[in-house]
Structure 1
Amino acid sequence: MKLAASGERFRVIDDFLPEDDLEEIRAVMRRRQFHQVASVVHPEADGQALRSRGAMLRQDAAMLSEDTQVVGMPSAYHAVLQEIHSHQDIFGVPTKDWSVVGFSFWQYAAGSRLGWHNDVDARGEFVFFLHEDWKASWAGDLTLLDADAAAIEVDTTGMSPLEAVEAKASLASHALTAIVPKPNRLVLIKEGTIHCIQRVDWTAGETTRQTMTGFVGANPPEKQQRADNKNLERLASLLDLG
């Protein structure tokens, strides 16, 4: 494991899992059933992706202990939880700022993408690339703006929220960061970070962009428990839990 790149709003960690643990989570992914889902950003332009049913884990001391492995839980889940815990500058303090982490598998085939967006109702997210091979010419980069979107002054009058997000990405003075979907690479992303998945090039052929992706759920004050429950319901919907 090594820190390959970092910014104010993201971390890139290469060689994240040992080979045995990487093969274990790939095997878990292969056993999952996938179904097509339309993009929630630009359905007509983005095309469809494939998503598996997900899992939601509540953070606790046992899950984060290096000496404790929850029975039946893939090692990758435990490793991701530990990594999220160790990057408090990205996600905040566990149990205080966040309490749950969702996991689901996604596949993007040639010709598909996910347009510019800004995830809400979460403390951040992670993307872990699971395909066995990837060439830079196949594109599918995770592209993000390493800047606070709220600080970018753009006239968004008459724009929809998604149009406003893309306008900020297009007109910001900051350079965009493109992260190649290298196998066994983990990306941690801070809440409010504008990002997209670039279209997978047709030269990828039958190879799909495969990830384990999830959101880190917020843990608001007690008086906001009802809103917290709604956020968890939204998170569960995104992960296709049930």
Structure 2
Amino acid sequence: MKMVLNTPQVIVYDDVLKPEQFQLMWRYMQSVPYKHVHAEGVRGVWRPEDGNPMEGPRTVTLGLTPPEEMLEGMMAAYPGTSLYPTRQPIDALLEVIQARATEHKDMLGAGGEDWLLFSAAPWIYPVGSGLSWHCDDGKLYTGAFIYYAHPEWNVQWGGELLIADESSKGAGKLGDEGGDGPRRQHVFDNARENEELMRSGLGSFIMPKPNRLVFLARDYPHMVAKVSPAAGNRVRASVAGFFIRPEFLFGGGQ
């Protein structure tokens, strides 16, 4: 494993799992059940034009063993969640994530204080699917991660993680407009995000390189570029999750 990028916004590791672990991880990604993101109702962070990615079963890693009532809060927020260890190939990845996360307190916060556990779920983005500009909720999460589990990727296939310039921190938070109207739950227009992100019109990108792990700081706008038709029947396969604050566990979810 080697660190290839370290900025205030993003930290990237390559060659994360050993070759045999990576092969088992790819088999695992093809063995679990998936559901479309809108299967149980429209999830507002995915806009109508984002296609229909698929989410697999969520796992929670307790890490520093939070109080039992906090674990109960997590289970209430995410029904059907499994606990580490799962005795599945994903366990090797979860162990790496936990070990590396504790080394990056400046970005992710201190484990056992700022975050008590983290979630992880497999994701499949087929051709034509992506995720528009958005911010993760920094009130609930101290940061996020993405691991790329597909065995190959080509620079023409899309699926890049795009991250807005540091000056755009906080832009595009869903439901943060204020005022007297109802809290926004869906993004059917992007006037506010467009205005804020176009002030600089700058950013960076991370290719979805196989066996790569990305840590992402909270409150920075980011998106997943759509997977190109050039990818054919190949899918952007990832495991993604959040480092979860106590407020999430007591507050009952997102």
TM-score range, shorter chain: 0.7 to 0.9
Aligned partner letter, 1:47 = G
Instruction: State the partner residue of 2:81.
Output: none
**Is the counterpart of residue 84 in structure 1 residue 101 in structure 2?**
yes
Partner Cα separation in structure 1 for residue 219 and residue 135 of structure 2: 6
1:198 pairs with 2:225: yes
Q: Whole-Å Cα distance in 2 between the matches of residues 133 and 71 of structure 1?
A: 26
TM-score between the two structures when normalised by the length of structure 2: 0.77
Taking only the aligned residue pairs, the percentage that are identical comes to 22
Indicate the residue corresponding to 1:128 in structure 2: 147
Relative to structure 1, the CA distance from residue 85 to residue 207 in structure 2 (aligned partners, 3 Å threshold; closer, same or farther) is same
Deviations 1:88-121 (A, max 9, x none): 1110111111001001000101111100000102
TM (norm. structure 1) is: 0.80
Tell me the SS of whatever aligns to 1:215: strand
Who is 2:87 aligned against? 72
Tell me, in whole angstroms, the C-alpha distance in 1 between the residues paired with 2:233 and 2:169: 39
1:214 paired to 2:231: no
CA distance in 2, matches of 1:26, 1:189: 23
How far off is 1:11 after superposition? 0.6
Q: Unaligned regions of 5+ residues in structure 2, if any?
A: 66-83, 172-176
Q: Structure 1 or 2: larger helix share?
A: 1
Which residue is 2:45 aligned to? 41
Within the alignment, does 1:229 sit opposite 2:250 as a pair? yes
CA distance in 1, matches of 2:111, 2:194: 31
RMSD of aligned Cα (Å): 2.5
Which is worse superposed, 95-104 or 52-61?
A: 52-61
Distance in 1, Cα, partners of 2:165 & 2:212 = 18
C-alpha deviations, 1:189-212, integer Å up to 9, x for none? 011111000111111000000000
Name the aligned partner's letter for residue 55 of structure 1.
T
> Which consecutive unaligned segments of at least 5 residues does structure 1 have?
62-68, 221-226, 235-242
Please say which of residues 118-127 and 12-21 is displaced more in the overlay.
12-21
Q: Which moves more between the two structures, 178-187 or 164-173?
A: 164-173
Q: Is 1:180 equivalent to 2:207 in the alignment?
A: yes
Once residues 58 and 157 of structure 1 are traced to their aligned partners in structure 2, the CA distance between those partners, rounded to angstroms, is 35
